[in-house]
């Protein structure tokens, strides 16, 4: 996909977020001249990125207005998640729709076999969209200020994410990025409130957090902001996949989704005891988040099935640091993420590929 100029980014983003506007409405919203707006929209039409249809019933006298919206499947962002439990891929378009998914059970620590599987997945998915924005690999890691991996969560530390990035980029000639904040970027891209201040807690092989303000990812002075995992110690009670595996006496650090579904179906007491204790353990760190950042939304996301996340959410108390006799801080909406489950991190990595094209920073 070609690089977008700043004005093109703004216009395409407005078309994406507010579909079915007329050219005049777009120009007014962005405070751009009609000539500039028409030039950009005409280019998008020629490239097949948007469609323009005349409304059936005119809103005023004269010819019915032409309405612009992004074309489904025109631009896709491809995402990969690599883990000891397998390799998963997804491609997402500008409407937020998942155009396709693919997966392999290969352990990503085996670089040779893992690369072959990843190449097959990318080859299968990249043609699901007419134009590819890029590829993002989700990495359960802490990055430094230069955007380099500093530390990978312990159970996945044997995966050479940089080698995957280099080899896939070389194979396909497409920009490939590594990112840990994919779930929060997905919420920022496709959430209903473009001005929301969202804290996303993602639960996978560890416990991660990220804060997004509109379309701006808060990374801090050294790229390591919002390290909520430090408030939920590795060797304590923490709602991660390895913790659940240990609790259930499983050898695999990633419990089989089918097993979790079976436990949910049979209302297994062990699972619900785990959910209750781990959900309550999130109350203190998330109450700190509320006091420090005053977000509009606190979102639970990650690789657990939605019913597990809903169970955890039901145990969270955000009032732990409300001072007696003082007016309490306004509490955020507490909700479940847009994309959750086993393939969610690949899907949110796909959204991140779109984010890198649509937003100048990040």
Q: Does 332 have pLDDT greater than 60?
A: yes
What percent of the chain has pLDDT above 70? 97
Report the predicted TM-score, pTM, of the whole model to 2 decimal places. Answer: 0.90
308, two tokens: 């597990």
Q: Does 336 have pLDDT greater than 50?
A: yes
SS3 141: strand
Q: Does 361 have pLDDT greater than 60?
A: no
The whole-number pLDDT of residue 195 equals: 86
Contacts 24+ apart (CB under 8 A), 288-291: 288/231, 288/321, 289/199, 289/209, 289/226, 289/228, 290/318, 290/321, 290/329, 290/331, 290/332, 291/321, 291/329
338, two tokens: 């847009």
Confidence label for 62 from pLDDT (cuts 50, 70 and 90): low
Confidence label for 60 from pLDDT (cuts 50, 70 and 90): low
Please give the average per-residue pLDDT across 233-238, as a whole number.
Answer: 76
Instruction: Look up residue 319 and give its DSSP letter.
Output: T
Q: Does 232 have pLDDT greater than 60?
A: yes
What does the mean pLDDT of the chain come to?
A: 92
Q: In this structure, are strands 131-138 and 141-143 parallel, antiparallel, or unpaired? A: unpaired
Confidence label for 42 from pLDDT (cuts 50, 70 and 90): very high
Confidence label for 52 from pLDDT (cuts 50, 70 and 90): very high
The whole-number pLDDT of residue 172 equals: 96
Confidence label for 258 from pLDDT (cuts 50, 70 and 90): confident
Packed helices 257-265 and 269-281: angle between N→C axes, nearest 10 degrees: 100
Q: In this structure, are strands 141-143 and 86-93 parallel, antiparallel, or unpaired? A: unpaired
Confidence label for 362 from pLDDT (cuts 50, 70 and 90): very low
Q: Does 61 have pLDDT greater than 80?
A: no
Please give the average per-residue pLDDT across 200-224, as a whole number.
Answer: 91
Q: Does 224 have pLDDT greater than 90?
A: no
Chain-centroid distance, C-alpha 223: 18
The whole-number pLDDT of residue 2 equals: 83
pLDDT digits (tens, 9 = 90+) for 106-117: 999 999 999 999
The whole-number pLDDT of residue 314 equals: 96
Chain-centroid distance, C-alpha 174: 20
293 in Cβ contact with 211 (< 8 Å): yes
94, two tokens: 């500008």
Q: Does 253 have pLDDT greater than 90?
A: no
The whole-number pLDDT of residue 47 equals: 94
pLDDT digits (tens, 9 = 90+) for 259-318: 999 999 999 999 999 999 999 999 999 999 999 999 999 999 999 999 999 999 999 999
212 in Cβ contact with 190 (< 8 Å): no
Chain-centroid distance, C-alpha 45: 28
Please give the average per-residue pLDDT across 145-165, as a whole number.
Answer: 93
Q: How far apart are CA 303 and CA 241, in angstroms?
A: 8
């Amino acid at each position: 996909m070609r690089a977008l100029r700043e004005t093109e980014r703004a216009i395409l983003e407005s078309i994406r977020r507010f579909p079915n506007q007329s050219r005049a409405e777009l120009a007014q919203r962005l405070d751009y001249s009609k000539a500039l707006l028409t030039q950009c929209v005409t280019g998008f039409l020629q490239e097949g990125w948007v469609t323009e249809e005349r409304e059936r019933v005119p809103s005023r006298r004269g010819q019915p207005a032409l309405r612009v919206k992004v074309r489904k499947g025109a631009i896709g962002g491809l995402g990969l998640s690599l883990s000891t439990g397998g390799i998963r891929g997804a491609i997402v378009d500008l409407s937020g729709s998942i155009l396709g998914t693919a997966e392999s059970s290969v352990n990503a620590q085996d670089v040779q076999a893992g690369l072959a599987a990843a190449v097959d997945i990318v080859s299968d998915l990249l043609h699901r969209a007419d134009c590819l924005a890029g590829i993002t690999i989700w990495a359960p890691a802490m990055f430094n200020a230069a955007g380099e991996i500093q530390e990978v969560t312990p159970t996945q530390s044997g995966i050479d994410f940089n080698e995957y990035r280099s080899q896939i980029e070389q194979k396909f000639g497409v920009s490939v990025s590594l990112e840990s904040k994919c779930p929060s970027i997905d919420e920022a891209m496709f959430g209903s409130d473009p001005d929301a201040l969202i804290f996303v807690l993602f639960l996978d092989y560890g416990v991660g957090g990220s804060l997004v303000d509109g379309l701006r990812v808060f990374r801090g002075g050294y790229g390591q902001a919002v390290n909520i995992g430090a408030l939920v110690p590795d060797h304590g009670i923490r709602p991660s996949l390895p913790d659940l595996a240990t609790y259930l006496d499983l050898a695999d650090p990633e419990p089989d989704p089918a097993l979790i579904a079976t436990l949910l179906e049979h209302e297994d007491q062990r699972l619900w005891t785990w959910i209750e204790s781990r959900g309550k353990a999130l109350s203190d760190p998330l109450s700190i988040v509320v006091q420090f950042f005053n977000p509009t939304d606190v979102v639970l996301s990650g690789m657990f099935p939605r019913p597990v996340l809903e169970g955890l959410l039901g145990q969270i108390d955000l009032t732990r640091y409300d001072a007696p006799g003082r007016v309490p801080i306004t509490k955020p909406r507490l909700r479940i993420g847009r994309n959750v489950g086993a393939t969610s991190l690949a899907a949110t990595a796909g959204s991140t590929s779109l984010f890198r094209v649509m937003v100048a920073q990040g």
